[in-house]
Amino acid sequence: MSTTRDYLHLHFLVFLWGFTAVLGKLISIPSVEMVFYRTLLAAVGMALVMLVWNKSFSITTPVLIKVAATSVLVALHWISFFVAGKISNPSTSLVGFATCSFWAALLEPLLKRKKIAAIEIGLGLVVLIGLGIILAFDFQHPLGLLLGVLSGFTAAWFSISNSKLVHRVNAFTITFYEMLGACLLILIFMPLYMQLPMVGKLQLVPTASDWMYIAIMAWACSVYAFAASINLSKKISVFMIQLALNLEPLYGIVLALLVFGQQEVMSWQFYVGTAILLSAVILYPILKKKNQASVPAQ
């Protein structure tokens, strides 16, 4: 049975996930190198959790191949999210990421070969209106917003993939191999990454503060938050968890304003568009639940 403490704990976890955008902006090394270290530390941290909790590392080859494919999406999600924050600001990357629910609403029926419901189409239109308002009024960070949207798209895709994989292997094992896979993928493509004109050479020596922020990302925002959310899912309904997760961009934007102050302040049109987008995202699970309750049992 859930308690007030459980709900507060859930919102603390959402707060941690929203804080990653701020941490990404504070870290001095480029996003690709940062994600490499984050996934490495997250894999090590998850392995330790699995050893302490006696979770199995066993996985079949067919499932491992699917997990490896999903790790590509994980790497793309984090790289696009943090690049968006670095070339624009955390608020822009978070607004783009907020489209995750929209993409999930469209992708899940397509990937599972189901009909797209009218509520999903409605959500999509409202999200597009919000993005349109942001872009229409002399917005200075269109590329950052586009990359933020890409991060939302890839997050939705790997979440749907994981929702199918979790029926075949435990969530801890999936997360460990996805973190390890994303880390190895970035390592393999480092030589190609170095050939990009804007890169030149790698920056693989984080500062002391970088290490601290990356460790917080990997161990607090990833390993701890994930393990805690698994435990909370046994007490709190999926609906309430999804509702709280949709508040992540809002928490992140407020945190960014508190940390970066004036440099994070955007035009009023940005906040109008953001409010429209977030209202659709937050209301979606409520409307979906009501719609499902109104459908008669077969």
Q: How far apart are CA 243 and CA 92, in angstroms?
A: 21
| pLDDT tens for the chain, residues 1 to 298 | 678 899 999 999 999 999 999 999 999 999 999 999 999 999 999 999 999 999 999 999 999 999 999 999 999 999 999 999 999 999 999 999 999 988 988 888 888 777 777 887 888 888 989 999 998 876 789 999 999 999 999 999 999 899 889 889 999 999 999 999 999 999 999 998 988 877 878 898 999 999 999 999 999 999 999 999 988 888 888 778 878 888 899 999 999 999 998 888 888 889 999 999 999 888 888 887 777 666 454 4
Q: What share of the chain is helix, strand, coil (3-state, %, to 5)?
A: 80, 0, 20
Which strand (E) or helix (H) includes residue 119? helix 118-136
Reported pTM: 0.91
Q: How far apart are CA 142 and CA 84, in angstroms?
A: 10
Cα-flanking dihedrals φ and ψ of residue 234, to 5°?
Answer: -80, -15
